[in-house]
Structure 1
């Protein structure tokens, strides 16, 4: 991952539109903290700004987009959706970065820049829930994902700034080892490192329509009944709609079926208990609605690609 010409991993943070220090911090903080822990400058971040950026809006030590930017990771971050397609220069330069072997990460509205460049065609992209409708209208060739982040062939999309933190700490674990990754997450007061495939926590009240409250009620029933799961028919009966109507709601708004969503809720709760408590694995399985240890282990491995026992052992080894 490190450039052959340099032992320093170069990170360029491109800011093509509106941004906040929180947005920048989600990208820069993991690398800054890693440097502090390592006691050396292993990672170097630089800000890249559009050529037409006013002098008063320029950040200290920033460089222009038209300058010769050399980096291992290019992060495109923006808090506002572009009103029109990106310029031919931006499109050409993004494509050039990727063709030269650079990893490109798009955070929040930055995903619109990647999609406009054509790099995301026929791929899955993690998109923040508030941007999904606008994004899907513009880019029919890109498959929407409600996961925290997606990584495909040096292209990374994150659903938001907190998800960017998870993604970069995972990146540090992959490239520098578990010890550094966990030390960084502890320093940043992260209660856990969320995996890429974890779903965004959607605010269901965003969805309009007379029948929308039924979806909210169904999800709340699931969240409140993890230990003794309800059947799909029971949930439909409690919210006063047919099973078929309930399945349509989940498919339309959450792109999954009720039983699958319910299972994921229970597995996420199980993983949280595995990593944050000393409760036995069998007891955790029972608390999350699994009838036996083997049933819990099988479902957990199918979703997280690791057994509960190995998950806990991995966590203990890093302590």
Structure 2
């Protein structure tokens, strides 16, 4: 476990509506880490848009975003989409913090602040499934993924809620070491730390209407047929739409094609089995629909930049 010799300042920015649940999800991994280290390694400061809003109920004294304050990590917590564009003062401050080398993480709707500041250009972001359409309408030049979270250098976007815990435990592993991260996850009774690439669960209501539920039906068919993959034509036939309609649905709502999405599902399942079971690598490949060891190894390395054997060896060394 790394030394906790220096203080790490976490600033929690509350630009609009927020829930105590989300704030707790941000604070808890750091507070548990403090308990494990037996010192106040991580400290918090609460930030609001304007000085007149200082002193929110239930929080210690707040500082305004435009004030001078010290932080290593700024977490933007918001439950609602902003009504309009950010003020120039907000944009300049967020840009300035990033230029100063600070890490910025967003929860739930906080990604709208990051996008409006211009910091997400040429990057892929994550937003909670219920906000995907609204985000894409406002920022059609920013790519969205359906992952739990995305990390690009010092910019981190999360789907919010439980995904924050997975993201922050992973963040602690990177910044403080594996021992502390695993100790925190054990203390929080997390049965596993979900990887960033794990997909958000997308319920039927996300796709609404008479046609979009076909997409969820197609995804469920894929999830239930990993060992013997169906062809795109077979899936389209089973959900009673044409192949072209199915491809359009995947492109519109998931920004990918059915075959690519199916392959990612199989690879993510394979990675889960590699990390959580003692099943042989060849058998895992077969269970996830790969016809041979070389085919499995090649596809896995293309997606994860590491072979299945290297993945398993890395786990055994840890």
Question: What is the TM-score of this pair, normalised by structure 2?
Answer: 0.90
The residue aligned with 1:186 is 186
In structure 2, relative to structure 1, the CA distance for the partners of 1:66 and 1:150 (3 Å cut) is: same
After TM superposition, list the pairs within 5 Å mapping 1:1-319 onto structure 2.
7-50=6-49, 51-53=51-53, 55=55, 57=57, 59-318=59-318
Question: What is the TM-score of this pair, normalised by structure 1?
Answer: 0.90
* Cα pair 2:54 2:61 within 8 Å, conserved: no
What do residues 172-202 of structure 1 show as CA deviations (whole Å, max 9, x unaligned)?
A: 2222222222222222222322333333222
In structure 2, relative to structure 1, the CA distance for the partners of 1:312 and 1:122 (3 Å cut) is: closer
- Give, in angstroms, the shift of residue 11 of structure 1: 0.8
User: Could you tell which deviates more after superposition, 152-161 or 74-83?
Assistant: 152-161
* Cα pair 2:112 2:135 within 8 Å, conserved: yes
What do residues 39-69 of structure 1 show as CA deviations (whole Å, max 9, x unaligned)?
A: 3222222222333337563512433334321
* Cα pair 1:49 1:58 within 8 Å, conserved: no
- Specify the SS of the correspondent of 1:57: coil
- Give, in angstroms, the shift of residue 277 of structure 1: 2.2
Distance 1:55 1:31 in 2: 23
Structure 2 segments unaligned to the other structure (5+ residues):
none
Distance 1:246 1:56 in 2: 48
* Cα pair 2:72 2:102 within 8 Å, conserved: yes
- Give, in angstroms, the shift of residue 313 of structure 1: 3.0
- Specify the SS of the correspondent of 1:199: coil
In structure 2, relative to structure 1, the CA distance for the partners of 1:65 and 1:213 (3 Å cut) is: closer
Distance 2:272 2:226 in 1: 13
Q: When the two structures are aligned, how many residues end up with a matched partner?
A: 313
In structure 2, relative to structure 1, the CA distance for the partners of 1:241 and 1:142 (3 Å cut) is: closer
What's the RMSD between the two structures over aligned residues?
2.1
In structure 2, relative to structure 1, the CA distance for the partners of 1:256 and 1:142 (3 Å cut) is: closer
Structure 1 segments unaligned to the other structure (5+ residues):
1-5
Distance 1:46 1:315 in 2: 36
Distance 1:226 1:65 in 2: 48
In structure 2, relative to structure 1, the CA distance for the partners of 1:49 and 1:151 (3 Å cut) is: same
Distance 2:244 2:140 in 1: 27
* Cα pair 2:250 2:257 within 8 Å, conserved: yes
* Cα pair 1:205 1:216 within 8 Å, conserved: no
- Give, in angstroms, the shift of residue 213 of structure 1: 2.7
Distance 2:109 2:205 in 1: 22
- Specify the SS of the correspondent of 1:295: helix
